């Protein structure tokens, strides 16, 4: 799959995850709806300024736009991490302990 197609798939996934039409997503970024459509289909290669604007508008790191097969999972994990960061200290401490226990169990199972 070409980089343009990967970008296009990720743009579509991001747009749909936010319940936006192509026209609405394009408007947020300052692009035409038709150009956004070209990007989603992998028919255009945007400049870095467009990539940076998309990342800024959708509050993601630019590299997320170019992740391959695991992009959907990475996007969801990123969304969960953002929510985690906004939680209070008590919730963060609890989730930290859960993660520690998970990784300890994972490490122990590798040693067997």
Q: Verify that 94 and 106 share a domain, yes or no.
A: yes
Q: Verify that 12 and 44 share a domain, yes or no.
A: yes
* Range of the structural domain that residue 90 is part of: 71-112
The CATH number of whichever domain residue 37 belongs to comes to 1.10.260.40
Q: Verify that 51 and 65 share a domain, yes or no.
A: yes
Which ranges of the chain would DSSP assign to H, the alpha helix?
3-17, 22-29, 33-40, 48-57, 71-86, 89-110
What is the pTM for the complete model shown? 0.64
The confidence score (pLDDT) of residue 111 equals 65
| Among 50, 38, 51, CA closest to 8 | 38
Residue pLDDT, tens place only, 11-60 = 998 899 889 999 999 999 999 999 999 999 999 999 999 999 999 999 88
Q: Verify that 42 and 90 share a domain, yes or no.
A: no
Q: Verify that 30 and 5 share a domain, yes or no.
A: yes
The confidence score (pLDDT) of residue 107 equals 85
* Burial zone of 39 (CB within 10 Å; 0-12 exposed, 13-18 middle, 19+ buried): buried
């Amino acid at each position: 799959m070409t980089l343009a197609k990967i970008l296009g798939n990720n743009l579509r996934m991001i747009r749909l995850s936010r319940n936006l039409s192509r026209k609405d997503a394009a408007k947020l970024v300052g692009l035409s709806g038709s150009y956004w459509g070209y990007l989603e289909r992998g028919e255009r290669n945007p400049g870095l300024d467009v990539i940076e604007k998309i990342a800024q508008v959708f509050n993601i790191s630019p590299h997320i736009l170019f992740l391959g097969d695991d992009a959907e999972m990475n996007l969801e994990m990123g969304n969960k991490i953002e929510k985690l960061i906004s939680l209070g200290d008590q919730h963060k401490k609890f989730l930290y302990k859960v993660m520690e226990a998970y990784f300890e169990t994972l490490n122990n199972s590798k040693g067997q």
